[in-house]
Amino acid sequence: MARIIVVTSGKGGVGKTTSSAAIGLGLALKGHKVVLIDFDIGLRNLDLIMGCERRVVYDFVNVINGEATLNQALIKDKRVSSLSILPASQTRDKDALNKENVGKVLEELGKSYDFIVCDSPAGIEAGAMMALYYADEAVVTTNPEVSSVRDSDRILGMLASRSRRAELGLEPIKEHLLLTRYSPKRVEEGEMLSVEDVEDILSIPLLGVIPESQAVLKASNAGEPVILDTESDAGKAYQDVIDRLLGETVDFRFLVAEKKGIFSRMFGG
Amino acid sequence: MADASIEFKGTSFTLSVLHIKTAELANIRADLVKKVSQAPDFFYLVPIVVNIEQLDCSIDYQAVKSLIEELKFTFVGFTGAVGNEQRKLIRELGFSFVNTSKIEHSQKNPQEQQALVKEPQAITASPEKHLFTDKIHRGQIRSGQQIYAKAQNLVVIGSVSAGAEVIADGNIHIYGSLRGRAIAGAQGHDKAQIYCQNLEAELVSINGNYWLSESMEQHWGSPAFINLTDSELSSAKLI
């Protein structure tokens, strides 16, 4: 059985698509068969982040409507052969999806993939509900600021009440907290919520802390998920996230501000 | 014509009731003396009603009164579930017979007692009696969620997030942080209370009286309970 992981947040712009791309690619790099699904119908972004926007012929909605087969719509990643992307439709809206057909597509994908990573749209409406409905696990992407934390809290409530697992009374969705755009310096200055603050409010297990990094924007524009940038803090932090998702225990990095020593100042380290 | 100088009003008091189980005055005296010697100040001039329902035979009422007064109690009268003839006799001797409002003290009729035990269970749903059962919620209550414990107390084993709402007709106990809204005594119950391990609430309300977070500064961020005193909310440290 494939593990269905939804990357969700409630609030927009916190890094859901960046994280979906990094997680999908990271798992594939570890040798797992992974499919990334863009649930953000009408605001198709995942293909851009993955750098496959020019190869989109058919999309998720075409498959749902029976206008294309899954194999026609799935785009194989050029970097890692075990990764496929199912892009969203840019011309339709979120009502194009329905539970029954989404369920069928996921079931079909589950036969040939180890992981199904669902990139959720923002909000708490039908689109977001559709993305989380069939999930086994949820990566709740949160920025260290109060509005994002509150929206994440709301989504956690939805995960516990509106998902398939909740409706059928099965084991609840496994929740993971992914803190993105974290700046230890600003936490020290009291401008940003700390990891502990967010953990205290949401009280779910921490999956990873991604530091605020220039590398993320660069990676997005280049269509190269930041996890491929193994020199960057953000790339390394996503690498740790993958290891933790695969059950390893990895210490958290990038939680304290770097103290610049005299040598790094002199040599611009 | 109104009596300007006096006025009669009914008021309830808690009185000590001495249950006597034997007609042997010597035994009663010995036990009483022993009892009084343990706390002479406590018993000094305490009003005493004597309950005679556990006696199988008649007793010298006058002697009982004398004994009570001799030991420096204030004798009030007799009480107990006894027959009318006995009551009449007591009154004829010049003593008052005090009727209790509740018959719960009755130990003569076990069937009657059973009926009394059952009664509170049947009326637990009635807010007037405030004998609420508990609704227990395990886990965090997230933003946007609402929990209502109708005619119950609410126990939350977890935190109540900002933007969440917990409502109970009885008390609210939160074993975690209260960051959302808590509304106790929702159907009108001014004895309802709110307990939490960390008070950071948006709003607390008891029987329609509410506080916004700015009123909670005194115990903000600490374990606290909130109750209603003379229609005013007040908070106190829990531990």
User: pLDDT (tens digit, 9 = 90+) per residue, A221-234?
Assistant: 999 999 999 999 99
Nearest alpha carbon to residue A57 among A45, A43, A42, A74: A74
Residue A18 lies in domain: 3-246
Which residues of A belong to the annotated binding site for ATP? 11-18
Question: What phi and psi values does residue B18 have, to the nearest 5 degrees?
Answer: -100, 115
Least confident of A161-170, A183-192, B13-22: B13-22
User: pLDDT (tens digit, 9 = 90+) per residue, A46-78?
Assistant: 999 999 999 999 999 999 999 999 999 999 999
Q: What is the arithmetic mean of pLDDT over B185-211? A: 95
Which DSSP string do the residues of B196-212 spell out, in sequence order?
A: EEEE--SEEEETTEEEE
Is A264 part of a structural domain of the chain? no
Instruction: Determine the 3-state secondary structure of B117 from DSSP.
Output: helix
SS3 breakdown of chain B: % helix, strand, coil, rounded to 5? 25, 30, 45
Identify the structural domains of chain B with CATH numbers, from first to last.
16-118 (3.30.70.260), 127-237 (2.160.20.70)
pLDDT of residue A261: 65
pLDDT of residue B69: 87
Nearest CA in chain A to B158: A203
Is A256 part of a structural domain of the chain? no
Note whether B161 contacts A160, CB cutoff 8 Å.
Answer: no
Contact A88, A43 (CB under 8 A): yes
pLDDT of residue B104: 43
What is the rounded CA–CA span in Å between residue A87 and residue A56?
7
Instruction: Determine the 3-state secondary structure of A19 from DSSP.
Output: helix
Note whether A160 contacts B139, CB cutoff 8 Å.
Answer: yes
Note whether A153 contacts B161, CB cutoff 8 Å.
Answer: yes
ipTM for this model: 0.79
Instruction: Write the CATH number for A189.
Output: 3.40.50.300
Lay out the sheet containing A83-86: strands in order across.
A75-76, A83-86, A34-38, A115-119, A3-8, A137-142, A174-182, A206-211
For chain A, the domain total comes to 1
A residues 102-161 closer than 8 Å to B (CB): 124, 150-151, 153-154, 156-157, 160-161
Is the model's pLDDT at B14 over the cut of 90? Answer: no
Of B106 and A30, which is predicted with more confidence?
Answer: A30
The residue type found at A269 is G
**Residues of chain B with C-beta less than 8 angstroms from the C-beta of A124:** 144
Is A254 part of a structural domain of the chain? no
Nearest CA in chain B to A147: B162
How wide is the angle at C-alpha B137 spanned by C-alphas B132 and B143, nearest 5°?
Answer: 120
Instruction: Determine the 3-state secondary structure of A94 from DSSP.
Output: helix
Nearest alpha carbon to residue A210 among A188, A241, A249, A187: A241
Is A262 part of a structural domain of the chain? no
- Of the candidates A150, A157, A203, the beta carbon closest to that of B159 is on A203
Is A166 part of a structural domain of the chain? yes
Note whether B143 contacts A150, CB cutoff 8 Å.
Answer: yes
What is the rounded CA–CA span in Å between residue B95 and residue A24?
93
**Residues of chain A with C-beta less than 8 angstroms from the C-beta of B139:** 160
Tokens of A219: 């990676």
Torsional sign, CA A78, A212, A43, A114: positive
Per cent of chain A over pLDDT 70 is 96
Nearest alpha carbon to residue B150 among B127, B176, B173: B127
Lay out the sheet containing B133-138: strands in order across.
B133-138, B152-157, B172-178, B194-199, B224-229, B232-237
Is A260 part of a structural domain of the chain? no
What is the rounded CA–CA span in Å between residue B136 and residue B158?
11
**Residues of chain A with C-beta less than 8 angstroms from the C-beta of B163:** 150, 153-154
- Of the candidates A157, A200, A201, the beta carbon closest to that of B144 is on A157
**Residues of chain B with C-beta less than 8 angstroms from the C-beta of A160:** 139, 142
User: pLDDT (tens digit, 9 = 90+) per residue, B83-127?
Assistant: 788 888 888 888 888 877 654 444 444 444 444 444 444 444 444
Say how far residue A12 (Cα) sits from the centre of its chain.
12
Which residues of A belong to the annotated binding site? 11-18
Is the model's pLDDT at A147 over the cut of 90? Answer: yes
Q: Please, what is the end-to-end C-alpha distance for chain A in angstroms?
A: 46
**Residues of chain B with C-beta less than 8 angstroms from the C-beta of A161:** 145
